[in-house]
Amino acid sequence: MKTTRNHIYRRFSSLVFAALTCQARLSVTLAVYSSIALLLLTYVTAQVYTSALTQQIAELKQERHVHKEILHRMSSDYISLSSRARVTHYCESVLGMTQATDDSMERIAISDDIIGFREPIAFTLRDARPPDPNRFTLLREDGKSGQ
């Protein structure tokens, strides 16, 4: 079997060599030259596509890097804008809100007859817990509405 392969390869190489030196028939010579041209064209096309794809990958990586920077900048802006001290300062100075105390906070309930709730809602007049220090109200410290 090995000798058969060697024999086939030897005949093929001698045919190609004869076609390249123009010692074979015209049809064989044209077929060999056409095959070589087709292989060269395929190789060049593959190289062009490879370089184009490499360039696109580089552009996409650069674009991804730019988008990551924008994301990090927006995240830092969000964190700085939503910080507790900034929100507290904005609520107190711009909106005129003060921290809620037991005197300024009032719970209001809506009757379930009007809306038609299926289960009764229980509200307490005073909560046993201390008031939440982060809760704000529109009432001024003297108990009157700021509007």
Torsion, CA 9, CA 13, CA 19, CA 20, rounded to 10: 150
What is the pairing mode between strands 98-99 and 136-137? antiparallel
Q: Rounded distance, CA 138 to CA 130, Å? A: 19
Q: Which of 11-15, 101-105, 120-124 has the lowest mean pLDDT?
A: 120-124
pLDDT of residue 67: 95
Q: How far is CA 31 from CA 13, 28, 35, in A?
A: 14, 5, 6
Q: What is the largest CA-CA distance in the chain?
A: 113
pLDDT value at 36 more than 60? yes
Per-residue pLDDT tens digits for 99-121:
777 776 666 666 656 555 555 55
What pLDDT is recorded for position 79? Answer: 85
Q: What angle do CA 6, 8, 9 make, to 5 degrees?
A: 65
Write out pLDDT tens, residues 133-146.
555 555 555 555 54
Please say if the pLDDT value at position 80 is more than 60: yes
Q: DSSP assignment, residue 129?
A: S
User: What angle do helix axes 2-20 and 26-81 make, rounded to 10 degrees?
Assistant: 100
Q: Give the whole-number percent of the chain exceeding pLDDT 70.
A: 68
Reported as a pLDDT band with limits 50, 70 and 90, residue 122 is low
32 and 19 Cβ atoms separated by less than 8 Å: yes
